[in-house]
A and B are shown apart, each in its own frame.
Chain A
Amino acid sequence: EAGVTQSPTHLIKTRGQQATLRCSPISGHTSVYWYQQALGLGLQFLLWYDEGEERNRGNFPPRFSGRQFPNYSSELNVNALELEDSALYLCASSLSGWTGDCTFGSGTRLTVV
């Protein structure tokens, strides 16, 4: 069974541009979570999608947004990129109504120059 897949693996953007990151959850999982992991820091919760709806949002500015598609895959969009947005962006998935662990992908390394 395929795990959580994220694309691209690496992404280099210029300050002010937009970045789009993609995530495919494990088959059967309807919840997708996005986390930001800045260098040397722990993971910071960004967004939670379930059944196509945004269910929770972390303490990030509105230029961080996303969506979940009918096939439960998800997109994270970051507009007006800033240098401090450089980080590893991790996607995780779980069954709906999660009460246990979620499975993480390997992440997209976003570098803003």
Chain B
Amino acid sequence: GESVGLHLPTLSVQEGDNSIINCAYSNSASDYFIWYKQESGKGPQFIIDIRSNMDKRQGQRVTVLLNKTVKHLSLQIAATQPGDSAVYFCAEKGGYNKLIFGAGTRLAVHP
């Protein structure tokens, strides 16, 4: 069936380091992917997206990489800050506007 999963449930990093959060997806026909950040008590917040015709997309301090060959997504956060502490979800756009979410990775940033 459809699924989007994550390799690491929890990631601990030092403030100022770069963070890399990984995600695997199963539907090779998917053409749109999104990374969301969810802070405690809030709904998911859009971070960055990428379409399948791209390999890389950069935002402010964030970069998403897409490897279609192995069906793998990653989110890179540069110079991680305490405010980056949250749960990060990758999502794949399925049919009829449905988003298929992974289980999430908790990012903990330590001073």
Contact count band on A: 20 to 34
Partner of A56, one of B89, B97, B101, B104: B97
Contact B98 A103 (CB under 8 A): no
Q: Which stretch, B42-50, B55-63, B67-75, touches the partner chain A?
A: B42-50
B window 27-49: CB within 8 A of A: 32, 34, 36, 41-46, 49
Does A25 make an interface contact (CB < 8 A)?
Answer: no
- Interface size of B by CB at 8 A reads 24
Contact B46 A56 (CB under 8 A): no
- A102 contacts across to B, CB distance below 8 A: 46, 99
Does A72 make an interface contact (CB < 8 A)?
Answer: no
Give CA–CA (A106, B42) in the complex, Å: 4
Give CA–CA (A89, B103) in the complex, Å: 16
| Nearest-Cβ distance from residue A37 to partner chain B, whole angstroms | 9
Give CA–CA (A58, B1) in the complex, Å: 13
Does A1 make an interface contact (CB < 8 A)?
Answer: no
Partner of A90, one of B32, B44, B96, B102: B44
| Nearest-Cβ distance from residue A31 to partner chain B, whole angstroms | 7
Known contacts A4-B43, A106-B42; decide if A98 and B49 are in contact (CB<8 Å): no
Give CA–CA (A48, B95) in the complex, Å: 11
Closest A-B pairs by Cβ, 4 of them: A104-B43, A56-B96, A42-B101, A101-B46
Residues of A bordering B, CB below 8 Å:
4, 31, 33, 35, 41-45, 48, 55-56, 58, 90, 92, 94, 98-107
